[in-house]
Amino acid sequence: MTDKTNLQPGRGENRRPGSFFGRRKGLKLRARKQRLIDNLLPELLLDLEKPAPENLTDLFIDKPKKLKFRVEIGFGGGEHLAEQSETNQDIGFIGIEPFINGMAKMLGEVDDRALQNLRLYDEDAALVLDWLPAETISRLDLLYPDPWPKKRQLKRRFVSPQNLDRIARVLVPGGEFRFASDISSYVNWTLIHCRNHPKFQWMAESADDWRNPWENWHRTRYEAKAIREGRAPAYLIFKKQ
């Protein structure tokens, strides 16, 4: 059963086209994090009840022209997304994370770094992909998604023909879909699904291209834990044809 604590009125289970994530909330939030959820999140939360703007620059607090826009799905505690947002002020970022505790950590980063080129969403990423205008996103990152390893759970993996269609629709021509995971079965799953999709081409030319992190990569706590436990991450880049 989905924990609907902290869901906004009118938002929730009946709006999700798929269930690609697990629990919504972990430990009770400390006072500051709860204040950020209550006060800062509503300012940054995408309102999917309104039509998406034709120019995505209009989504962001800082109005200088954005040359590119990126989406990060499942940002966890926000380490990678916050670093990317802070070091790429000319890019508009959309971060999606249903886990309330992860969202609270990200809001702490936003508050501490005074990030203004970022919008957030706390439910199913498929809803955002359906909402965004076509061919507006230069890069979409799916980092360490829930692997749903059991056979009966495979249909809950975010990488699927339907979601690859969604990703392909919002990416600009030549845009990138980036996937990172330490679960080899999910890496192989993603390679097979993208190979079978007409819009995606794997960009690796040698083993180092998927064994080594991407340029300007910022390691997350989850990745550090995976490496400590002996699991080797893979970093895949697919270009939209």
Q: Which residues are catalytic?
A: 146
Beta bridge partners of 94: 71, 119
Q: E strands of 34-131, at which residues?
A: 68-73, 91-96, 118-121
Contact 95, 121 (CB under 8 A): yes
Rounded to an integer, what distance in angstroms lies between the CA atom of residue 102 and that of residue 86?
A: 18
For residue 59, give both structure tokens: 């989504």
- How far apart are the two ends of the chain, measured CA to CA in Å? 39
Whole-angstrom Cα distance, residue 128 to residue 76? 17
* C-alpha–C-alpha distance, residues 57 and 64, integer Å: 8
Beta strands in 44-90 (DSSP E): 68-73
Q: Which residues contact 187 (CB under 8 A, 6 or more apart)?
A: 179, 181, 234, 236
Return d(Cα 235, Cα 28) in angstroms, integer: 33
* Chain CA centroid to CA 164, Å: 14
